[in-house]
Structures are given as structure tokens and as C-alpha cells.
Amino acid sequence: MTAPPVRHVPVLGREAVAMLAPRAGGVYVDATFGAGGYSRAILATAETRVIGIDRDPTAIAGGSGLVEESGGRLTLVEDRFSHLAAVCAAQDAAAVDGVVMDVGVSSMQLDEADRGFSFRLDGPLDMRMSGQGPTAADVVARASEADLADIIYIFGEERRSRAVARAIVMARRHGPIATTRALADIVSKVVRAKPHEIHPATRTFQALRIFVNEELDELIAALAAAERVLKPGGRLAVVSFHSLEDRIVKNFLAWRGKTGGGSRHRPEIERAPPSFAILTKRPLTPCDDEIRANPRARSARLRAAERTDAAAIDDGAERPAWPSLANVMRGG
Ligand SMILES: C[S@@+](CC[C@H](N)C(=O)[O-])C[C@H]1O[C@@H](n2cnc3c(N)ncnc32)[C@H](O)[C@@H]1O
């Protein structure tokens, strides 16, 4: 059964685009094109040019109408946003005036049963935004019990991660766990939800989705790439959907936006001049009306900053020690 497609409502879209302060003649990157809500809003400022990136081929195909409407001002590129700098260079835009990201999964992806993102709809256990690489079913079939527990704990913040991993390993002995319903049923047996709490499989599904799409690694790399491609005075605006993502954005901007002192992680390094000036001391959050209209918006956070003229800080993109997709699929 396929749910009817739901039009994506761009969360904090107006605020995110306002942070970019688009101006005529400016070049902007919409790193998460989706249904094109942010791109459309940027293009509303005359004579802007937008490079829209999405790793989902259906999002790129769905944007063809807007490309036509834009009269040559919108270019869409199917790629990962961690490749943002290379994408810009290939579009003759080595330096840009703004980068906006609305990270995570789109409503269109969530609401399409065949994409396998949702525990509410039965479909193949897929979860790949790009349709390439290992699926969630592959991860659930191959990962060791210890890796599964780590994945579900780190990316899902599921306190019962060990019990869930154990239940998955027991269940897969009897045959592949191939559907969203099958996985949701396995998780529901070991994670009990009280009435009014989120569905017991919410955190496990979130974890697998983030892991399969390497979402946090992508975000870390994309922030560093944005720092390299933004002109002095160029703006970065990032909307994130949960605390794991927001923490990455917050820490990145805190590190890049501070003067004096050393890094908490690398006190031996003398701090370079700040490469960003923070525009949002506190993150912006959706108003009550936006949350009522779109309950998925409730945990959204917008952070923004303006590029200074200091050089990009190349700190080798510090990556926390979480399991990597390639290692887990190799079985090591
Ligand atoms: C929340 S939606 C964006 C919605 C968009 N702002 C709009 O107005 O319709 C996120 C989109 O980003 C894409 N995406 C997520 N991670 C990505 C990545 N690492 N590289 C490229 N696209 C990505 C997803 O495929 C999805 O279409």
C-alpha cells in the first residue's frame, strides 16, 4: 500500500532564505533541493543564480519544471552535498554568496512506502536517499550484534539499543528482515512505548536511516566545504531536524566563529582567526503555527553565519569515532 504523496512544506524556509539575504547577481547553493521550496524562494530575488544539489534522483527529476521556469538561473545536480565544492567548481562557481542546507529526509521520501523510510507504511527495508549502496535490509542482515547496538545507540539515542540488536540478530536467523513492518514488529517487542509516547521503532528507524545515508559524515564534510566556497560576506544557513545534527552545526560554528584560546579538543593548536561571524546566537525554531501545520517541524533548528575574510580553517574534518558503513558492510 502506498500513501498518497504529501507536498513537502519547507520548514523554516522563509527564515533560512532571509538569513542568506539574497541579492541580485548573487550565486547561491541549495544543497538539499528536495521539492525546491528554498530554491524557489531564492529565485524570487531577481537575477540570482541557484545551484541545487540533491542525492535523490527523484528530487532532481521533480525539479525540471522549476529549472524551466527559472529561465536558466537554476541548475540541478544529482550528487552528495559533501561534494559541494567540486559541484560548484564544475558549474564555474568556485566562490558563492550563500549556501543553504535543510538536512535530513524529506516528507516526500518518508511518505513513499516503497522508499522504506517509514515504520508506519509497509515497504521494502531500503532507506537509501540516492537509491545506491547498501540498503537498511543489507545492514540489518550483515552488521554484527555489537555494531548494530552501537548504530542504534549512537544514531538513534535508543537506550534499549542492546536489546534491539539482540532481537534483530535472533530474528534474522529465521530469514531475512526485508520489510519495514517486519523490523517495526521486532523492535516493538523489546521497546515498549507508553501511551502518548513516540512509536517504539522511531529511534531504531532514525538510526538506520542516518547510518545507511552516512548523514552525519555528510554534514561534517559539507560544512567544511561550505566554508571553502563562500566568499567573504557570504552566508551559511542550516536547518537541522534533530539534536545530533544540530550539535554538529553548533560545534562547527562555535569553533569557526571564536577568537582566542585553543580548541577544547586540540588545545595545542593556536586558534586561527574566525572564518565565520555567527548570526544566530540562539538557534531559530518554528513558531507554534508551523508546528501545528507540520508536526515534523517541532525539533527543527536554524543556525546561520556570515563568512569572514579569514582563510578556511583546515582542521582535517574531525570525525567522531562512530561505526562506518563501509567497515560494517565489510564485516569488520
Ligand atoms: C528536508 S528535504 C529538503 C527540502 C527542501 N528544502 C524543500 O524546500 O523542498 C532534504 C533533502 O535533502 C536531500 N539530502 C539529504 N542528505 C543529502 C546529501 N548528503 N547530499 C545531497 N542531498 C541530500 C534529501 O534527498 C532530501 O531531498
Please name the residue that has the C-alpha cell 542482515: 141
Helix 202-212 to helix 180-190 angle (10° resolution) is 130
**H helix or E strand, kind and range, residue 250:** helix 243-256
Residue 176 is placed in which grid cell? 531475512
CATH 1.10.150.170 domain locations along the chain: 131-212
In ligand 1, the atom with minimum distance to the C-alpha of 30 is: 6
Locate all alpha helices (DSSP H) within 102-201, ordered by sequence.
107-110, 136-142, 145-156, 161-172, 180-190
CATH 3.40.50.150 domain locations along the chain: 13-107+215-307
Q: 244, 155 in Cβ contact below 8 A?
A: yes
Residue 162 CA to ligand 1 center (angstroms) comes to 31
The pLDDT value recorded for residue 3 is 36
> Does domain 131-212 fall into CATH 1.20.1630.10?
no
DSSP code at position 296: G
Q: Is the CB of 286 under 6 A from ligand 1?
A: no
The pLDDT value recorded for residue 4 is 36
Q: Is 37 annotated as a binding residue?
A: yes
The DSSP string of 2-32 is -PPP-----TTHHHHHHHH---TT-EEEES-
The pLDDT value recorded for residue 314 is 73
Instruction: Give the C-alpha distances (Å, rounded to integers) separating 143 from 9, 29, 163, 173, 205.
Output: 35, 36, 15, 13, 15
Q: Is the CB of 217 under 6 A from ligand 1?
A: no
Helix 243-256 to helix 215-229 angle (10° resolution) is 30
The segments of the chain whose pLDDT lies below 50 read 1-7
**H helix or E strand, kind and range, residue 223:** helix 215-229
Rounded Cα gap, residues 272 and 313, in angstroms: 7
Please name the residue that has the C-alpha cell 518518508: 110
The residue nearest atom 20 of ligand 1, judged by CA position, is 80
Q: 62, 34 in Cβ contact below 8 A?
A: no
CATH fold label, 13-107+215-307: Rossmann fold (3.40.50)
What are the two backbone dihedrals, phi and then psi, of residue 247, each rounded to the nearest 5 degrees? -60, -40
Q: Is 155 annotated as a binding residue?
A: no
Tell me which of 129, 240, 242 to substitute to probe ligand 1's pocket, judged by most ligand atoms within 8 Å of the beta carbon. Answer: 129
For residue 267, the tally of other CB atoms under 10 A from its CB is 10
Q: pTM of the prediction?
A: 0.93
Instruction: Give the C-alpha distances (Å, rounded to integers) separating 14 from 38, 50, 123, 143, 206.
Output: 8, 16, 34, 41, 26
The pLDDT value recorded for residue 1 is 31
For the segment 210-230, what is each residue's pLDDT rounded down to a tens digit?
A: 999 999 999 999 999 999 999
DSSP reduced 3-state for 134: coil
